[in-house]
A and B are shown apart, each in its own frame.
Chain A
C-alpha cells in the first residue's frame, strides 16, 4: 500500500474514532433540542462528570472498566433528571425560550468550577485496560479506540432503533414534530420530556466514560468538547439524528485532516467557519427533515 494511501486511511481512522465520540455527545444535545426546543449548555459537563464517575468507580471501588461505563450512564441520567427538575421543567410553561439556555450556562460555569474545588486542577490519570496498540502494516490504532467505535455504534444504533420502532420513541418524535397535536393525542409530555433529557444525559455520561482515557481529565475537559458538539448539532440539523451522526463523523474527519495538512492550531477556525457557512447556506442542516421552525 502506498504511503499516501496508508496516511489517508490512518487519518480517516483517527477521524472516525473521535467522530464517534463527538456523535455520542452531540446526539444527546440534538435529542433534547428536538423534543424540548432547548439547549442544555451543561451537557458537556455531564460528559466530564461521567468520566469522573467512571474513574472513581474503578479507582475507589475497584470496579471493572466495563461496569464503570454503566455507572457513568446512570450518573449522566441522574444529572439529566436534576437539571430538568431544577431548570427546564419550572421554566417550561413560562414561554421564554431563552431563559433556560442562560440558566444552563450558569449551571455549566457552576459545575465546572464546583468540580474544580472538589477535584482540583491536576489532571487525573485514567488508564484503560484496553491499552494495547494494534498494528496492520503502517496503520495503527489502540484497542481502546476500537472499543469506543464498537460501543458508540451500538449505543447510536440502539438509540436510533428506540426512536424509530418503540412506542415511546415514536411519541418523542411526535412531540418534536408537532407539540400541540401530540398533546391533543394524549401523550404525557412532561414525563416524556423528562425521559428524553435523562436518556440524552445518560448518553453523555457514557461518552464520558469512553472519553476518560482519551481526555486530559480535569474539570474543564468537557468544555473542550462542548463548542464543537454545538457546531455538529447545527451542521447536522438541530433535532435531526441522521444529520447529527453524519456531521459528527464529518467533524472528526475534518479535524484529522486539518491537523495533517494545515496544522491543529486552526482546527477551531475551520470547524466554526464551516458552521457559519452552513448557517448562511443551509441553516436547517445537512438533512432537512425538521420543519423550518426557528429560521
Chain B
C-alpha cells in the first residue's frame, strides 16, 4: 500500500504538469492556424528542404509578432524525402496528429501528386509552390492550389518569346531526367514547333552527371543552334553553362547561341558560373533587386535573420509566399480548411514577393506577373526584360 502511495506521490508532479500543459495547450489552441509542411529534409532532396525551411521560418516569425486577426500560426515540418511513399506516410501522420488546416508542399512532382488525392479526400487544401506538373491542377482536384506557374505557363511564354523576340528558329533541349525536366521540355517543344521552330536535339542526363564536356561536344557537332533550353538544378547548370562556353557554343564563350530557361536557377547562379552565363535569358520568379517594397522588405528581413552576405533564392521566396498567402486568407476572415479554401479561390491580385496571385477555379495561379524575364549582363548582373 505504501509502495503505491509513494508511486503516486512521485508521479503527481508529472500529472499536474501534464494537466497544466494540456490546458495551456488547449488555451493556445483556441486561436491558432495549423500549417502542415511537406519538404524533403533528408537525402539529396534536402537542397529544397533547407531553403524551404528558411523561408517558412522567417514568415512565421514575422506573422506571429502581431498575429493576424488574433490568430497565431503553428507549423509542423515533415520529411517527405521527395518520394511518393514517404510523402504519403507523413501526410497521413500529420493529418492525424497535427490536424493542419492547410498543407504546403512538396517540391518534387511525384511526391506532390501522390499526396494530392489524400488531401482531397481529407478536404484539406494543398498549397504547392514547387512542382510544375500539369497533372496537379488538371486532375480535377478541388483542394489543390499552386502559386508556382505550371509547365505550360512557363514554357508557352518562353517559347513565344524565344521565337518572336529572340528570333530563334532552332533549339536544343537539355534537361535532367526527372518529372520536371521532362514536363518542361515536352511543353516547350510542343509550342515551339507549333510556332514554326525546330527542335534539333533532346539531350537528357541523370542528376548525378558531373561532367558536361561530352554533351557540349555533341551539341557543337550539331551545327549552329539558336537557343538551348536548359532545365537542371543550379549545380549541374553551372557545369553545363561552363562546358557550353568552353566549347564556344554560347555567347559567354564567344559563340552565338543563347541558353534559355525557366524557374530553376537562384540568384547567385551567374556569379558561380562566371563569364559562361553571360547572355543567359530566363524566367526568374524572384528577383532580389526588384524595387517593390514587399521584395525589398523580404530581402532585408532575410539578411537580418540569416546573414548579411546571403541573398534569398526563389525557393526561399516561394516558401515565404505560401505562408503569406495563408495569412492573407486568415486576414479575410478564414478560420478553418473550408474557409481558407474559399478565400483562396476569391483571391485577386494578392501581392507576394514573386508577383501577384489570382487563383483560377482549378487552383492554379493565373496571374502572369509571376513570370519575369532576366538576361545576364557582362558584369553578371541581371537586366530585367519587359516581355
How far apart sit A272 and B274, CA to CA, in the bound complex (Å)? Answer: 35
Whole-angstrom CA separation of A127 from B242 in the bound complex: 11
A224 touches B214 (CB 8 A): no
- B253 contacts A133, C-beta separation under 8 Å: yes
Interface segment among A3-11, A75-83, A99-107, A152-160: the answer is A3-11
Residue of A whose beta carbon sits closest to that of B313:
A122
| Closest A residue, CB atoms, query B273 | A125
Tell me the minimal C-beta distance from A16 to chain B in angstroms. 11
In angstroms, Cα B43 to Cα A120, docked, is 10
Q: Which of A120, A125, A214 gathers most chain B CB within 10 Å?
A: A125
Closest chain-B Cβ to A141's Cβ sits at a distance in Å of 8
A216 with B235: in contact, given A224-B210, A255-B214, A264-B205 (CB under 8 Å)?
A: yes
In the bound complex, do residue A221 and residue B215 qualify as a contact, i.e. CB atoms below 8 Å apart? Answer: no
- Chain B residues whose CB sits within 8 angstroms of the CB of A11 once the complex forms: 214, 217
* Residues from chain A with Cβ under 8 Å of B51 in the complex: 122
- Is there a chain B Cβ closer than 8 Å to A63's Cβ? no
Q: Does A260 contact B (CB under 8 A)?
A: yes
Q: Are B239 and A121 in contact (CB under 8 A)?
A: no
B210–A122 contact, CB under 8 A? Answer: no
Whether, in the assembled complex, A223 has its beta carbon less than 8 Å from a beta carbon of chain B, the answer is yes
Q: Do A120 and B50 have beta carbons less than 8 Å apart?
A: yes
- Kindly state the separation between the CA atoms of A211 and B210 in the bound complex, as whole angstroms: 10
Which chain A residue has the least Cβ–Cβ distance from B246?
A133
Decide yes or no whether A35 CB sits under 8 A from chain B.
no
Cβ 8 A contact of B208, one of A15, A125, A145, A223: A223
Q: Is B16 an interface residue (CB 8 A)?
A: no
A13 to B222, CA, bound (A): 18
Contact present for B205 and A214 (CB under 8 Å): no
Q: Give the distance in Å from the alpha carbon of A243 to the alpha carbon of B40 in the complex.
A: 42
- Using a CB-CB cutoff of 8 Å, which residues 214-251 of chain B contact chain A? 214-215, 217-218, 220-221, 234-236, 238-239, 245-248
Chain B residues, CB < 8 A from A18? 211
Give the size category of A's interface with B: 35 or more
A239-278 contact mask (Cβ, 8 Å, vs B): 1 or 0:
0000000000000000110011001110010000000000
Partner of B214, one of A125, A214, A264: A264
B5 CB–A CB distance under 8 Å? no
Query: Are A260 and B218 neighbours in the complex by a CB distance under 8 Å?
Result: yes
Tell whether, in the assembled complex, residue B218 and residue A259 are in contact, meaning their CB atoms are under 8 Å apart: yes
Contacts of B209 in A (CB 8 A): 224, 264
Given contacts A259-B214, A263-B203, contact A140 B46 (CB under 8 A): no
A218 within 8 A of B: yes
Q: Is B186 an interface residue (CB 8 A)?
A: no
B interface footprint on A116-136 (CB within 8 Å = 1, 0 otherwise) = 100011110101000101010
Q: Are A123 and B234 in contact, with the CB atoms below 8 A?
A: yes
Beta-carbon contact of A265 and B177 below 8 Å: yes
Q: A135-B248, A140-B248, A260-B221 are in contact. Are A265 and B205 (CB under 8 A)?
A: yes
Asked whether A264 lies within 8 Å of B215 as measured between CB atoms, the reply is yes
Closest to B269 in A: A125
Cβ contacts under 8 Å, A138 to chain B:
220
Whether, in the assembled complex, B206 has its beta carbon less than 8 Å from a beta carbon of chain A, the answer is yes
Dominant secondary structure at the B interface = helix
Residue of A nearest to B51 (CB): A122
* CB atoms of B47 and A216 under 8 A apart: no
Chain A CB within 8 A of B307 CB: no
Report whether A214 and B235 are in contact in the complex, using a CB–CB cutoff of 8 Å.
no
Tell me whether A260 and B238 are in contact in the complex, defined as CB-CB below 8 angstroms, given that A218-B44, A265-B206 are known contacts.
no
Count, chain B residues at interface, CB 8 A: 37
Q: Let me know if B248 and A260 touch, CB within 8 A.
A: no
> Distance (Å) between the CB of B100 and the closest chain A CB?
25
Identify the closest chain B residue to A10 (Cβ).
Answer: B217
* Residue pair A125, B217 in contact (C-beta under 8 Å): no
Interface residues of A in 1-27 (CB under 8 A from B): 3, 7, 10-11, 14-15, 17-18
Q: How far is the CB of B270 from chain A (nearest CB, A)?
A: 11
Determine the distance from Cα of A7 to Cα of B208 in the docked complex, in whole angstroms. Answer: 25
Beta-carbon nearest neighbor of A3 in chain B: B221
Asked, given contacts A140-B246, A214-B210, A264-B203, whether A123 binds B221 with beta carbons under 8 Å apart, the answer is: no
Asked if B120 CB lies within 8 Å of chain A CBs, one says no
User: Are A260 and B206 touching (Cβ within 8 A)?
Assistant: no
Asked whether A220 is an interface residue with its Cβ less than 8 Å from the other chain, the reply is: yes
Does the CB pair B214–A142 fall under 8 Å? no
Q: Does B328 contact A (CB under 8 A)?
A: no
Q: Are A264 and B50 in contact, CB atoms less than 8 angstroms apart? A: no
Return chain B residues, CB-CB under 8 Å to A131.
274
| A287 part of interface (Cβ distance < 8 Å) | no
Does the CB pair A121–B217 fall under 8 Å? no
Cβ of A148 to closest chain B Cβ, rounded Å: 11
User: Taking the complex as formed, is A111 at the interface, i.e. its CB lies under 8 A from any CB of chain B?
Assistant: no
CB-CB under 8 A for A125 and B206, given A214-B211, A256-B214, A260-B214: no
CB contacts (< 8 Å) of A220 on chain B: these are: 44, 208
Q: Is residue B272 within 8 Å, beta carbon to beta carbon, of the partner chain?
A: yes
**Is there a chain B Cβ closer than 8 Å to A192's Cβ?**
no
A163 on the B face (CB < 8 A): no
A187 within 8 A of B: no
- The answer to whether B206 touches A264, judged by C-beta atoms less than 8 angstroms apart, is yes
CB of A279 closer than 8 Å to a CB of B: no
Provide the residues of chain B in CB contact with A218, threshold 8 Å.
44, 47, 235
Determine whether the beta carbon of A14 is less than 8 Å from that of B217.
Answer: yes
**B204 an interface residue at 8 Å Cβ cutoff?**
yes
Q: List 27 A-B contacts (CB under 8 A).
A: A3-B221, A7-B221, A14-B211, A14-B214, A113-B42, A116-B42, A121-B45, A121-B47, A122-B50, A122-B234, A123-B235, A127-B274, A138-B220, A140-B246, A142-B246, A215-B210, A216-B238, A216-B239, A220-B44, A221-B210, A256-B214, A256-B217, A259-B215, A260-B218, A263-B203, A265-B177, A268-B206
Q: Which residues of B contact A (CB under 8 A)?
A: 42-47, 49-51, 177, 203-206, 208-211, 213-215, 217-218, 220-221, 234-236, 238-239, 245-248, 253, 272, 274
6 additional contacts, CB 8 Å, given A11-B217, A14-B217, A217-B235?
Answer: A11-B214, A14-B211, A120-B46, A125-B272, A216-B238, A259-B214
Closest 6 CB pairs of A and B: A123-B235, A216-B235, A224-B208, A259-B214, A121-B46, A121-B47
